Amino acid sequence: MNITFGCVIIHSSKILLVKEKSHKTKKLEKWNIPSGSARKDEFIFKRTIKQKMKKAMNLNIVVEGLVGLYESITPIDTTYYFVVGCKTTSDIMNINDPDIVEAKFFLLDEFFNLPEPEIVHKDMWHVAKKYLDGILIDALRTVQYK
């Protein structure tokens, strides 16, 4: 089982998208929401997302809530993909992740009008719209049982 996440990051009516280097299994070098993965020992999910975005792009974010949870099942493994809605106070970033080729804040109209061949998947539009419409699932809490 793998746990990955995507971030719909908004700043001043703009959305952050990234292009990543191509990998065998991914349709990349297309625009996508920033994403990452969590190791099995990284159990405090909000903190993990914040740390990964800080490390990858030197960007401080506030995770506002869960937008969606998606499951991808293959014959080899299952991946759970959490999409979160985030805000940032600055559009200044410094890319530190060697897999990120480019990062850019798009005006929302630009984003929603990107040609489909230039984006990883059209579901990006769906999750971004949910977040912008304020549809969040209050489920990203850490509960530690003793």
Q: What range defines the domain where residue 56 resides?
A: 2-132
The answer to whether residue 144 sits within a structural domain is no
CATH code for the domain in which residue 127 is found = 3.90.79.10
The answer to whether residue 137 sits within a structural domain is no
pLDDT at 110: 97
The answer to whether residue 111 sits within a structural domain is yes
pLDDT at 79: 86
1-31 pLDDT per residue, tens: 888 899 999 999 999 999 988 665 555 689 9
Single-letter code of the amino acid located at 16: L
The answer to whether residue 94 sits within a structural domain is yes
The answer to whether residue 145 sits within a structural domain is no
- 36-54 residues labelled b (16+ CB within 10 A) or e (exposed): bebeeeeeebbebbbebbe
pLDDT at 37: 84
57-114 pLDDT per residue, tens: 999 999 998 898 888 888 888 888 889 999 998 888 999 998 899 999 999 999 999 9
What is the rounded CA–CA span in Å between residue 108 and residue 95?
Answer: 22
Number of domains in the chain: 1
The structure tokens listed for 25 are 């299994």
The answer to whether residue 53 sits within a structural domain is yes
**H or E, element range at 9:** strand 2-11
Question: Which residue, 100, 60, 81, is CA-closest to 2?
Answer: 81
